[in-house]
Each structure stands twice: as structure tokens, then as C-alpha cells.
A and B are shown apart, each in its own frame.
Chain A
């Protein structure tokens, strides 16, 4: 069995020698043209005049296109049809594409684009939560509200109420490979597009619409991305559509890649949030009622903001049972880039909200926050411990709202009515406290802080409970295509895309296991809309769950046909046919797999099959906020220790200990990579990564010179990662769990450890906003000293 082995990434050898090809590395036909957008320099208003004569006259320019030059209105929105490829004259953010330059070289296109003379009639931009609320600028008619119980009454009778607000900054994806696309016009008007995209089907759909073609005339191929993180779920649409319309207009291949600054300025980011809260609690820190108001800054177009904001609401509980709860979510339309998917998809912001509440309540009652967290955890899983598979009758019906009605005080029921069947964070926390030597370190930190007034240390444990499934239920499906060739080699294809997470290798391990083949016998091929149609984005951590299952089903279909054929030939039962160690055993006979494949081919057995999988048991009413949106939950917990300089606010992560639940891991090496990388990316989001827009709505941090993702020395010096070894109760592929997004939220422990360190400076509560830059930390130190 190749599953569960710590094999390297499928392309590791090609990554290190430079032969792994990304879109910009694909050799292009002679005559390929290069594209660049001319973008708005103001955040809101109307274009009153646009003189493109100097652009057209610039060296190397072949064509300049405006919205009026397009044969069809090209829209690049993934949702609401509200994103014209090129502005129709109205400007919604600084960086919005106004026109498209088509030139002989990338540099010529960039140079030409800057020569436009554009005049605007400017309106004051809407940039803050308060401005958006005042202007009633929002998506959907009003706030969405989920919850249960009577929050007002419970708050009124609660012994104490913690009240506050946290600002949570956005996050630039900073995939190392910027957005890129290449369109190759074909005979008959067809188009082939190579894109750096998590969602080839959507690229196909948007390109087909822009060209007035049926989807069958457009084929999109994605071999790999140089990082995605959600930033290539919808944000690549514009480049692919631009290349396609320019290729149609010129009859020549067209390529577009954003310069890094353009990438920052044009594309959306993780949604900044403001979360206001009121939390009723008792003297021990037990939560009695919690009210959240979540304000999501969505930017100018809808994009994926509604499901992002939904997921923030669905993670407002994180690991905690909230007896009375009300979550009000405002999706604010502002004059920023259109904020979009980013690893966690709103979940992280929702989770920061409740972790902040726990931190605040613990401070008020004077207890170690980890104790207050544990006090409020959901009820631990019963029936046979965490590794026991979910029994048949324990599988809850999709409509768990019935459980909500019957047992409102059941400590296993989420605010949206789903029963948390497999809560293991109690046991995980206990183990992590032990392995991280928490108690002794807590004492050492206290001792250090008593003796040092300049450098203060802080320690925090935070848990993660993350719901796995697309909340748009119909997206939870996947297809695969597997071929066995007569020489015994296997080609596999599926709808998932490879962005570094190791999906291709995991899925290949699944196929190799079915056929009993060594990994080198299995070829993973580029994602291709011509092979597997109607795919979902590779997102929501679902890649392995969905595509692994589809590939297994397709592989098993072929293996079943081979077994039936060989069984008949040898007069044994098909169940007696075994695929292992590169051989096929049929009763007493044993064939090399290649021999068996050839025999099947000669015997006219089809050696090609599709596989199709849809996640069972989920249903969700997003308007009501009720149902079972998630097939299961993934869990994790992290302990972070930090040091803070009280003179400057500078800080550093000293040590991180992580315990993470990846189910029965398909590949522990790749999963460890997701955990370590997710933690550091989450820590970066909450500390060094600050997006700054000026008062005119222009993004001032638009390159790595000014926007600081973690560097090598920002990784914790001591970095311990361990797995919670237990099979998934849900019937996932080899009982593994999704691991793409959940570890990002382990980084929340860093923000809370900083809060702990700052709290050591004085009697007040730090109320630390994110990102906790040195400046914000120093301000928080002033606050706690002020009382």
C-alpha cells in the first residue's frame, strides 16, 4: 500500500532542478503577444476622458482594447455577474482595469499601459466599516443572523459581561508565482487556455461566455500553480478572459502575467473584519451567552464574499459550546479590491472573534485562558473513543435542527444545529499540555515576567475545530478519469488542481494502492477540462477527500473488470484476485501487472473508467443557518510562546508545539508540510502582514518591500509538530482528514500569546488588534499600563 507513506511531493525532483513548468515557463509559439492592464488610479468615480493615443503609439503595441471594443460584455465574476473585465466608465477601486494593452513583449505592454491620459470625476470612496454602514453600502439586503436561544435575556442575567471589539486585518495571498494565463487560439474558433488557477472549470465557463462559445469549444489546462491559497480561485478569471479575447481579436497566442505590484493592486485579499462582541459569563469564565457582530469588508464586487462571511459565522463558535448565541453578519461593499477566498475562507476571522472572547473573559476572571477554554469546550466524543469509526445508527440525519429543538442545552450542538459527533479537543488539549510541558513553562514565563520589565514573555494554547465541506452543498462533487495502458502503466486525471499542497501525490498513492503498483507506474496528468468536466474549485480543503474518492472509484472499476476477466479465465472467484507488489495474483497464478493489463486488452476488456463521488449526508440552508453543512470536523491545537519588547513592541515566536488531527494521514510528510506552513502563514497574517490603504483608497503596501510575509527567521526556533493518530469517523478516503486550511488557524495562538505577554505589563486588558505589528503591541502595552 502506498497510502500513508511519507512520500515526497510528486514534482519535488522537478522543483529543485528548475524543470517544473509554470504557466510563464511554457514555451510559446512564435508571435505570442503579451498583455497588461491599464488601471484606475482613483478608488471611486467615473472616467470622464481616456486618451489612449500615446498607448497605441508606444513601441511594440499591437492593440489596445477598452470595454467598448469587446464583442461581448466580458464578465469575470465567479458569482453575481458584477465584474466587467474592463470598466464601463464607472470606477470602483484604485487598481480596477480600464483598458487592455496587447504588445509584442511583456515589458512593452507594461510601459505602454502607463502612457494613458485618464481624467476622472471622483467621488469620496467608502473605505471603512463605519463609512459603509453609514452609506448602507452592502451586499444582500441586510445583515444575516444565525443563532439560538435568547441572548438578550441571558446577557441581562449573566453575572458579568465582557464587551469589546477586535479589528482583524486582511491578508495578501502572496503566492510566489503571480497570476498568469496563456491563450492559444485553435481552428474553428476554439481556445486552449493554460492558467494558474484553482478553478479551471470556471475559467472555461468565463472564457466561453466572453467568446460567445459553448463550453466544449474551450479547453483549460492547469498543470500546477506556484501557490494559490484561495487567491487563484476566482482572481485568475480576468487574465484568462483577457488573453482569450485578445487572442480572438488578434488571431495570435496571448499571454498575461501580472507584475507583482499589479498583482497586489488588482486582486482581492483575505477579508478584513471588525468583530464586536458581548459575552455573558460567570465567575469561573463559563460562557452563558455570546453576541457577535461581524463586519466583513468585502470590497467592490460580490465575488465569494457571501460564502466567506457565512463561514465566518459558522466558525464563530470554534471549539466552544455557546448556550445562547447570536451572530449578526454584515457584508459591506467598499471601494477596495474585491476580497476573496483565502485559506480558511472566513473561518479564521470567525475563530479569532471567539478566541478573543475567551481571552478577554479569562483576563476578567483572572484565570489561565487555557482553563477557561477547556471549561467551555463542546462535550467530548463518546462511544468508544476518538478512533472508533462512526457507527451506522450514530450517523445523524442531515436535519439536525431537530436535535436543536429537542435538546437546546446539549453541549454537542453548534449554533447552526449540527451535532459535533467526534469532538476530541479535550483529549488533544490534555495531551498537548503534557507534551509541550505547558504547566512548567507557564511557571517559567511568570517567573521571567516577574524579573524582567523590558522583555515580557507570553504563552497561549488555542484550539481549532474546522468544518469540512463546501457550504454550497452542490460543490461537494468530483470526477476522475483513469486509464490503464496495455504496458501496465496508469494515467490518472481528476478535477483537483495542484498548488503545492501535494494533492497529486496523495491521489496517485490512492490509485497505486488500488492496483498494487509502485508509484512510478502511475502518471499524474495536468488538470484538464477536456478530461474531467464540471469540476469544483480546488478549495475548502476538499481536494483529497473528493478527488481521492473519485480516483479510487474509477481505479476500483477498472481493477474490478480486470479481476472479473482473469477470474473467469482461471475459474476462480473475482474476490480471489489480488493486486499487490506490482503483480496480479489469480488463485495460484501470478502475473506481472503489465501482463495482466495486456491480457485484459487482448480479451477486449475496457481499461479506462471514470469515477464520480459526492459527499454524503450533508444539507444546509444558508438563509436559515440550519442543517449539516459539514461532513465532519478537523481538529488541532497549538501552544505558542512569544517574547515582546516593551520599548518598541517588537516580538518574536520562541517556540510552537502543535498537535493536529489529519485522520489516518494519506501522507504524513505532506500533511506535516501543510501544518507547519499553515501555522506560519496564520502567524504572519496576525503579526507582520499589514495591508495599508491610504485615505484615497490606494493600497500602499503593494510589494514585498512593504508587505511583510514571514521570513525564515520568523519560524519558531523550536517547532514541534505531532499528529493526533486517529481514523476519521466519517467514511473519507482511507479515513483521512482534510488538512489544507485548518492548520492556518493554529497561528491564532501567536496572537493570544502576544496578548498574554502584553497583559503581563499592567492591570488592563490588552485588546490587541491584528495584525499585531510592533506598533499595535506597543499601543496595547500603553493601554494595559493605563489600567
Chain B
């Protein structure tokens, strides 16, 4: 299939299979070997590139799980293209000056991630670089380098790439928008329509096509589907890329509820939640990495039904409703009811997640993720709590967990046991016996069943302690 984008400032067209990754294409077809493969699953950041789109500007993404059609109409900068007219990017120079490279293999990815953070004017360097692993330096010199360039001028391409996307509009869109607003998937003018891959522009187009191709795979950010290809080596069959469905990317903040389109990326959800539910935003700070959050979608995190997806527990605690669509038919259900069993969701063939909504109400939500490493790790336990207190007693409780069952799951017995109790460490202990009614977790490489149960219980204690204003997080202790 045809994809057209800017590569280091130069328009390029490719004709590839839809699941060709940017990383493989750069290295094998373009000879651009500066971008490295470290893990091939989006966890190490060695393949980080900077991708600019019209709406959001420059962001860091993992090229190893980025399929070429996702780049259509965007601008890509690899490590070879970060400098300006032969002068190195400030991040490149700072990494030399601060001795930020040793073996050098992770360095191009770090430099690209730093360049994106610099373009975004970020100063949360450890977070911005949480998706880049270095085994040599212990990070200290890299963080010094990132700090050192905060005020350095931005290279011309930061604005230039964005502007060039408009300049080259016809190059990107000429052949594919002949039908006016209802764009067709990008393809060469002479090629026949390619049923194996579509890039719908609206959810209506998606609904129609998916109802007719119920065996297809929908690809949001490809941070999970990417691994089906790079690790499971699956041939996906028909695919639809959702990143051009503008109406799936909308966030509506209404008087009574907030509605988030399925294709909204998690970095946008994080920004939204910072205002309404800061604890959720803090969870999302630790969700994946900057690269992953810029690609991964909320709908994808829900629809794949993982028992350890981090967004369902807080959404369930917030009383979220899931909106599904099949063709012209829409239905809604409480999010917790969507998850039926391990790997099985209440979703018919050809039906897709359109949005998730939750009621607006005062923030009581606390959500905690417990894992071996703070950043970019999969939860052993992710617990979300929303407890309402009236007259000193718990009047309403919604509690949901990831990592405790075959699906994200509500702690209904615990919720019931809490009603009428004071929100104190002693009061919530009244629910101690109820935990085993709700959960029988498994032991795996992340944690044992006993640990999971203990931590779940203790997180409720933490909620009570937090309510009393006690220090409960090692992240808040300063040296």
C-alpha cells in the first residue's frame, strides 16, 4: 500500500505491506541504520524517532512498532535528520559534552526523545526519557544533558516540518481525497482499491467497513498490535488504521459527563485527567512511556481486554460507560460488564469501541499501580478507589482492580463491606474478609497471589491514610 510522508524533510512515497514497521523500512530499505532495534516491542526506546503532525507538533514514537501507514501525511525525523544544516542538534552536542553515551547503541533513541521533549518544551526529563533504556551510564549524564539544553534554541525543522506538511498537502492527499470529504485509503492512482487495509476518516466509514469485514484487525496506536506482528509474527489479514478518524479523537467535557473518543491517545487523556482526576493523571505518567502514550489509545487499552491494562480500573471506579457501535447500531454498557473473561469481551464481530464516558463529580479517585519498576512497567496490581463519605461514614464505594483476576474487575464484596464504616485505617479493615470473595489472583512472573491480595488490602489502607493526610508514597519523600 502507498504511504507518503516527509523523511528528514524530504517527501517520500513507499509501497509496502501495511504492517511493515518504520524501523525495518528505515534500516533495510533506506540504509538509515542510525535508528536501532533494541527490543522490537516498544520497551527500550532505541528506535525512537520524532514524528510531527499538524495537530500536535513533534512527539517521540517507537519506530519498531509503528506501521508505515500510521505515518501518512506526517513528518519523520530520524537521528540522521535532527541537526540543522550540518550543525548537531543541541541534544546531540549536550550528549557529547556531558559524556551521555558509552556504548552508544541507545544514544540515537535518547537523542531523538530529547529532541522531541525539547521541541515540546518539556522539563520533566526523567519522565520524558522513561521509555529509553540505557545499560551503561546510569542515566546521570543523560539527565544532565537534557537539563542543559532546556533553553537552547529549537532547530528550524521543528517549525519547518509542521509548515511543510501544509506545503506538501497535495503530495499527501492528492490521490486519496478525490472523493472530497470522504477520503479513500491512500493508494497509488493506478492501483486497484486495496481491501486489506483502510484508513477511514470518520467513524461512519469505519462502521460500514468493519461491519463488512468483521475479521479485520483495528489498529489504533499499534502499541499492542505491533507486538502481534513483531513478536508473535502474525499475519493480520485485513486491517483498518484508526488514527485518521477525527471524530474518534474527540474529548467532550459536558456539564454532567466527560466523553473520550476511543482513538484519543493516552497522553491526551493524561492532560485531561490532570484537571479532573489528578491521581488518574499520575497513573498515566507511569503508563508506558512518552513514546507509548503518544501512540496508544484509550479505546485500544480497553478493547484488547487485558487484565493488566491500566486505564480500566480507574474508569470503572469513576463509573464509566462504554459506547460500542456496529454498523449503524450503537449500545452502551457499564465498563465493568464489557470484560467477560480472560481474552473475552462483550463485543460482537464487526463491533467496535466508539467512546467511553464517565460522570463529572468531585474528585475522590485514587489509583495506584504497583510494579517492580516505577516507570514503564506492567502492573502487578493496579487498584482504583472512589469512596464517598457522608456524616463520617462511607456512603458509596466503587473499587476496581487490574492484575487481580482474569479481567479488570470490581471489588463488589469489599465495596459492600465498607458501607457505613468510617474512612479510617481501622474502619476499612472491616472489609478484610471480603477480599477473598472478590479476588483469587494468580501467581506469575510479576507477583505471587498472596502478595497481590496483601497489596490490594493495603492499598485500601493507603486510601484511608491518604484521606487522613498521611505520607504514603515513597515518590513524595525528598532526600
A-side residues, CB < 8 A to B, are 6, 8-9, 11-22, 24-25, 27, 105, 107, 110-111, 114, 173-178, 224-229, 259-261, 452, 454-455, 457, 499-502, 641, 643-645, 647-652, 654-655, 669-670, 672-673, 676-681, 688, 690, 692, 694, 700-701, 703-706, 708-719, 773-775, 778-779
Residues of A within 8 A of B125 (CB): 712
* Docked pose: A706 CA to B308 CA in angstroms: 13
* Docked pose: A173 CA to B38 CA in angstroms: 13
Asked if B39 contacts A704 (CB within 8 A), the reply is yes
8 contacts between A and B (CB under 8 A): A20-B104, A176-B106, A500-B101, A647-B458, A652-B477, A677-B138, A715-B140, A717-B478
Please give 6 more A-B residue pairs, beta carbons under 8 A apart, in addition to A15-B107, A18-B108: A18-B32, A176-B105, A260-B40, A700-B445, A711-B139, A774-B370
CB distance from A107 to the nearest CB of B (A): 8
Partner of A654, one of B93, B138, B454, B477: B477
Asked if B96 contacts A8 (CB within 8 A), the reply is yes
Residues of A within 8 A of B92 (CB): 16-17
* Docked pose: A704 CA to B102 CA in angstroms: 20
* Docked pose: A177 CA to B377 CA in angstroms: 21
Residues of B within 8 A of A645 (CB): 472-474
Residues of A within 8 A of B372 (CB): 688, 690, 708, 773-774
B-side residues, CB < 8 A to A, are 24, 27-28, 31-41, 43-44, 46, 78-80, 83, 88, 91-93, 95-97, 99, 101-108, 111, 125-127, 129-130, 132-143, 231, 233, 368, 370-378, 380, 444-448, 451, 454-455, 458-459, 461-462, 465, 470-475, 477-479
Asked if A260 contacts B38 (CB within 8 A), the reply is yes
Asked if A712 contacts B142 (CB within 8 A), the reply is yes
* Docked pose: A9 CA to B107 CA in angstroms: 13
Asked if B107 contacts A16 (CB within 8 A), the reply is yes
Residues of B within 8 A of A455 (CB): 471-474, 477
Asked if A260 contacts B39 (CB within 8 A), the reply is yes
Partner of A701, one of B105, B142, B445: B445
CB distance from A271 to the nearest CB of B (A): 19
Asked if A703 contacts B43 (CB within 8 A), the reply is yes
Residues of A within 8 A of B140 (CB): 676, 680, 715, 719
CB distance from B75 to the nearest CB of A (A): 18
Asked if A651 contacts B474 (CB within 8 A), the reply is yes
Residues of A within 8 A of B454 (CB): 778
The residue in A228, A650, A714 that gathers the most chain B C-beta atoms within 10 A of its C-beta is A650
User: What are the 9 closest A-B residue pairs judged by CB atoms, nearest first?
Assistant: A18-B34, A226-B105, A500-B103, A15-B104, A680-B138, A500-B102, A18-B79, A704-B43, A25-B33
Partner of B96, one of A12, A114, A178, A681: A12
Asked if B138 contacts A711 (CB within 8 A), the reply is no
* Docked pose: A523 CA to B35 CA in angstroms: 26
Residues of B within 8 A of A110 (CB): 233
Residues of B within 8 A of A176 (CB): 36, 38, 44, 46, 103, 105-106, 133-135
* Docked pose: A678 CA to B27 CA in angstroms: 31
* Docked pose: A701 CA to B445 CA in angstroms: 7
Asked if B33 contacts A18 (CB within 8 A), the reply is yes
Asked if A225 contacts B103 (CB within 8 A), the reply is yes
Asked if A713 contacts B374 (CB within 8 A), the reply is yes
> What is the chain B residue whose CB lies nearest that of A114?
B233
CB distance from B476 to the nearest CB of A (A): 8
* Docked pose: A110 CA to B233 CA in angstroms: 8
Q: A174-B135, A655-B479, A713-B375 are in contact. Are A647 and B459 (CB under 8 A)?
A: yes
Residues of A within 8 A of B35 (CB): 18
CB distance from A111 to the nearest CB of B (A): 5
> What is the chain B residue whose CB lies nearest that of A441?
B479
* Docked pose: A260 CA to B42 CA in angstroms: 12
> What is the chain A residue whose CB lies nearest that of B452?
A775
The residue in A22, A176, A229, A499 that gathers the most chain B C-beta atoms within 10 A of its C-beta is A176
* Docked pose: A647 CA to B466 CA in angstroms: 12
Residues of B within 8 A of A655 (CB): 479
CB distance from A662 to the nearest CB of B (A): 15
Partner of A454, one of B130, B370, B470: B470
Question: What is the predominant secondary structure among interface residues of chain B facing chain A?
Answer: loop
Partner of A650, one of B102, B129, B139, B474: B474
* Docked pose: A678 CA to B105 CA in angstroms: 17
Asked if B475 contacts A673 (CB within 8 A), the reply is no
Asked if B374 contacts A500 (CB within 8 A), the reply is no
Q: A24-B37, A644-B474, A774-B370 are in contact. Are A224 and B377 (CB under 8 A)?
A: no
Q: A110-B233, A681-B138 are in contact. Are A17 and B38 (CB under 8 A)?
A: no
Asked if A715 contacts B143 (CB within 8 A), the reply is yes
Partner of A680, one of B43, B139, B375: B139
Asked if B101 contacts A12 (CB within 8 A), the reply is yes
* Docked pose: A500 CA to B33 CA in angstroms: 19
Residues of A within 8 A of B470 (CB): 454
> What is the chain B residue whose CB lies nearest that of A8?
B96
Q: A457-B477, A706-B378 are in contact. Are A500 and B132 (CB under 8 A)?
A: no
* Docked pose: A646 CA to B471 CA in angstroms: 11
* Docked pose: A24 CA to B35 CA in angstroms: 11
Q: A21-B33, A778-B455 are in contact. Are A688 and B477 (CB under 8 A)?
A: no
* Docked pose: A670 CA to B100 CA in angstroms: 10
Q: A12-B101, A700-B445 are in contact. Are A650 and B33 (CB under 8 A)?
A: no
* Docked pose: A649 CA to B370 CA in angstroms: 9
> What is the chain B residue whose CB lies nearest that of A706?
B445
* Docked pose: A613 CA to B116 CA in angstroms: 48
Partner of A712, one of B143, B444, B448: B143
Asked if B445 contacts A22 (CB within 8 A), the reply is no
Partner of A175, one of B135, B139, B231: B135
> What is the chain B residue whose CB lies nearest that of A719?
B140
CB distance from A783 to the nearest CB of B (A): 13
* Docked pose: A618 CA to B318 CA in angstroms: 69
Partner of B88, one of A6, A16, A706: A16
Residues of A within 8 A of B79 (CB): 16-18
CB distance from B464 to the nearest CB of A (A): 11
Residues of B within 8 A of A673 (CB): 99, 102, 136-137, 141
CB distance from B38 to the nearest CB of A (A): 5
Residues of B within 8 A of A774 (CB): 370-372, 380, 451, 455
CB distance from A720 to the nearest CB of B (A): 10
Residues of A within 8 A of B130 (CB): 711-713
Residues of A within 8 A of B39 (CB): 260, 703-704
CB distance from A429 to the nearest CB of B (A): 21
CB distance from A444 to the nearest CB of B (A): 10
Asked if A12 contacts B95 (CB within 8 A), the reply is yes
> What is the chain B residue whose CB lies nearest that of A691?
B445
Asked if A676 contacts B103 (CB within 8 A), the reply is no
The residue in B33, B372, B375, B377 that gathers the most chain A C-beta atoms within 10 A of its C-beta is B372
Asked if B446 contacts A177 (CB within 8 A), the reply is no
Residues of B within 8 A of A716 (CB): 479
* Docked pose: A79 CA to B46 CA in angstroms: 34
* Docked pose: A542 CA to B442 CA in angstroms: 47
Q: A226-B36, A645-B472, A712-B142 are in contact. Are A9 and B458 (CB under 8 A)?
A: no
> What is the chain B residue whose CB lies nearest that of A782?
B454
Asked if B78 contacts A18 (CB within 8 A), the reply is yes
Partner of B126, one of A21, A692, A713: A713
The residue in B32, B105, B132, B455 that gathers the most chain A C-beta atoms within 10 A of its C-beta is B105
CB distance from A685 to the nearest CB of B (A): 12
Residues of A within 8 A of B444 (CB): 700
* Docked pose: A45 CA to B38 CA in angstroms: 33
Asked if A647 contacts B455 (CB within 8 A), the reply is yes
> What is the chain A residue whose CB lies nearest that of B78?
A18
Asked if A502 contacts B102 (CB within 8 A), the reply is yes
* Docked pose: A225 CA to B455 CA in angstroms: 42
Q: A12-B96, A229-B135, A651-B474 are in contact. Are A499 and B103 (CB under 8 A)?
A: yes
Residues of B within 8 A of A11 (CB): 101, 104
CB distance from A434 to the nearest CB of B (A): 18
Residues of A within 8 A of B95 (CB): 12, 15-16
Asked if A15 contacts B101 (CB within 8 A), the reply is yes
